[in-house]
Amino acid sequence: MPSEIYLIDADGARIYLSGVGRTYTGVGTPWTAQNTSPFKLSMNEVTGNIWTPTAPEPIPIWNGGPPFALGGDLAYQGYDNVSEVVGLQGYAGLFDDAMGLGRLLRRTFGQAIARRPVILAVLPDGGSATVYFEILSARVQELPALINQEARRREPKIVRWAISWVRRPFGGALGGGATLINAVTVGNTGTGSPTNISSLGAAARGDLITAGGPLNVRALLPAGVPRELLIGTVAGRTYTANTSSLATSSTTGVVAATFNALDLSPFLTNSGLSLRLMLRATNVSTNLQVRVRAYAVNTNTPIYTSPWISATTVAASSVLLDMGGCRLPQIYRTSGTLSFTTAVTVDVRSTTGAATTGALGYVEGISAHTWAIASRWDTSGTTSIARFVELSGLPALPIPQRAESLTGTYYGPESLRGVAPLYLPGTSLYLAWRAPGTNVHVTSETATLTVTHAPLYHTLRGAE
C-alpha cells in the first residue's frame, strides 16, 4: 500500500495529496479517496523533490561559555514551528478544472484563522500509525512551466505547485490522549492511604517523554467551596510529622522547630530538580507568619530561606502552606556525595505582637520537576489543567497551558501560575488542595484523579 498523505479540513473532509493523479473533470470530490484523487506528490527533480516531514530544529539557550568556561551549559530548549516546501501535481481535464484544484487547496489552508488549522496526516508505506500535524499557514504557488508550456497541452492538464507551509513542530495521534491515571482516588495528606502521590507509570509514548511530555489532568475535588490545587511532577517526597508549637509573641521571629528528616538524594543525579517545602499547621491564628530555612545537614548557612508567609485569615484553622523552594545545581556535580539530607528550621513570628496560636502538623520535602498552582473561584469541584487538545477528530497536540473548571459542563477559566505537570519517566504526580486565600486544608478529603498524555513525534510515527 502506498504512503497515505492527506489534509483534513475544518469539516473533517480529506484531501489526498498522495493520490494517483486521476484526471479531475470538474465533477464531484474525487480527492477524498486515495485511489481517485487528482493530486500526486512530486517525486523527482522535474516535478519537485521527494518530501518527508522535516524535524523541528531545537532552539537552545546557553548559559555561560568561553573564555571563562569550557563550553556553555544548556539552560533551556524549545522548538519553533517548521517551514517546508512540498511539491504537488494536479491532473485536470480543462484548464479551469486545474485552477479549481489550486483554489481548493487555497480555500482549505485559508480556514486556519476563521475556523481551525488544517491537519496534515502522514502514514508511510508499510506503517500502521498515522501522525498528524497542524498546518498554520501555507502558500500555493504554481511552477512557471504552467503558464507558457503545460497550460496549452492537451488533456490531462498538469499543474505543478510548490506549497510552502508552516506547521507546528510536533505531530501527534488523533483523538484523546493515552490514559496514564484513570479515576484514581487520591488523598489530601502526605501519609496513609490514599496519599497525595500518584505514580505516572510507564505507559507514556512518543519522542518527548524524557524531555517532558504534555499531560492533561482532571481532578474531581470535593464540591461546595472554591479550591486551590497545588500540583507538580515530582521525583520524590519525604513526609515528616512534627507537632511543635507555633506560639510566639515575637514580631522579629523565633525558631519553632528544627528537624533533619528530609532525604533529597534524587538531587544527586537530577540537576533539573527543585526542592519544594510544604508545611501543614493546625489551630493557627490570623497573626501567625511562618518561614522555613533549609540547610544541608551540618552546615549553618541556609541553601534556601523562604519569605515570611501569613498562615491564614480564618482564626483557629488548619492550613497547608507552600513555602517555596530552590534548585540545587551544584549538588549534581559533587559525584563523591552519596546521600543528601536537608535540615529544616521553622521560624514563626507575630504580625501584631499578640501571642500566636498553632502547632505544626507535618512538613513535606518535595523534589519537583514542575510546580503549579491552579485557583478557581466557583464551587463546581472540578479542576482541569490542559496542555493539549483532547477532542475527537483532532490530533492531540500541545496548546499553551491553561486551567479550567470543566467536566461535562464548562464553568470558567481558573488562575494558573507556574508550570503545569509534564510526564517524565519514573515520576509521580503530587496533588494537594486548600481554600484559596485562606489556605484552609482538610486532610480527610479525597479527590478523583484522571491523567492523560499526548504522545508527540518529531517526524514519523510507528506503533509502540
Partner 1 sequence: MIASIYGFTVNIHARTNTTALGAQIDSVGGRLESYQHTSTATFGYESATLTLTAADLDEALVWTERLLCPVLAYGPGADLIWDGYISQVELRVGDRTRSYSLDGVANRVRCRYTTVLGTPGVTAAVSNVASVALYGVRDAVISLGTLNLASAQALRDAYLVDHAFPRARPTTTLRNGDATGGGVALTLTCAGWYATLGAVMLARTDTATEATTAQLATLIGATTPGIGITNGWLDPSTVEIVATGVVATRKIEEDTSYRQAIETRLGMGSTANVRYAWGVYGARQFVVRPWAGATPGTAGYRVRLADASVMNTGGGAVELWQVRPDAMVEDSDLVSAAPPSGAVEGGGSFYVERVTFSAQRGGMELELEPSDNTNLTARLARVS
- The contact set with partner 1 (CB under 8 A) reads 59, 61-65, 68-69, 72-73, 75-78, 251, 274-276, 289, 294-296, 299, 301-305, 307-308, 310, 322, 324-330, 349, 351, 368, 370-373, 377, 400-402, 413, 415-419
DSSP H helical ranges for 254-357: none
Integer-rounded Cα radius of gyration of the chain: 29
22 alpha-carbon distance from chain centroid: 43
Q: Shortest gap between Cβ of 402 and partner 1 (angstroms)?
A: 8
Do residues 262 and 344 lie in contact, with contact meaning Cβ atoms separated by under 8 Å? Answer: yes
φ/ψ of residue 451, rounded to 5: -130, 130
Residue 95 or residue 377: which is nearer to partner 1 going by CB?
377
Helix, coil or strand: residue 235: strand
Supply the DSSP symbol for 209. T
Smallest separation (angstroms) from partner 1 to the CB of 27: 39
Chain Cα centroid distance, residue 83: 23
Per the CB < 8 A criterion, the answer to whether 372 and 231 are in contact is yes
Peptide bond between residue 421 and the one before it cis (omega within 30 degrees of 0): no
Q: Give whichever of 329 and 425 is closer to partner 1, judged by the CB atom.
A: 329
Which CB sits closer to partner 1, 243 or 250?
A: 250
Report whether 161 contacts 17 (CB < 8 A).
no
Asked if residue 158 lies in contact with residue 71, where contact means CB atoms within 8 angstroms, the answer is no
For partner 1, give the closer residue by CB, 307 or 393. Answer: 307
Q: Which is nearer to partner 1, 105 or 234 (CB)?
A: 234
Q: What are residue 212's DSSP bridge partners? A: none
Q: Which is nearer to partner 1, 251 or 269 (CB)?
A: 251
Polymer length in residues for the chain: 464
d(CA 388, CA 298): 45
**How far apart are the C-alpha atoms of 20 and 5, rounded to whole Å?**
12
Cβ-based nearer residue to partner 1, 52 or 305: 305
- CA-to-CA distance for 378 and 373, rounded, in angstroms? 16
Closest CA to 49 of 21, 1, 87: 87
CB of 326 to partner 1, least distance (A): 4
Closest distance of CB 114 from partner 1, Å: 12
Residue number with CB closer to partner 1 (239 or 304): 304
Closer CB to partner 1, 166 or 296, in the complex: 296
Say if residues 342 and 275 touch (Cβ distance below 8 Å): yes
The residue (of 42 and 350) whose beta carbon lies closer to partner 1 is: 350
3-state class of 119 per DSSP?
A: strand
266 phi and psi, to 5 degrees? Answer: -60, -20
Residue of 12, 37, 213, 1 lying closest to 132 (CA atoms)? 12
CB of 296 to partner 1, least distance (A): 7
In 145-199, which residue ranges form alpha helices assigned H by DSSP? 145-148
Distance CA 274, CA 260 (A): 18
> For residues 21 and 324, which CB has a smaller minimum distance to partner 1 in the complex?
324
Concatenated DSSP letters of 45-101: TTTB----PPPPPEEEEEE--TTTSSS-EEEEEEE--EEEEEEEEEEESSHHHHHHH
92 vs 273 by CB, closer to partner 1: 273
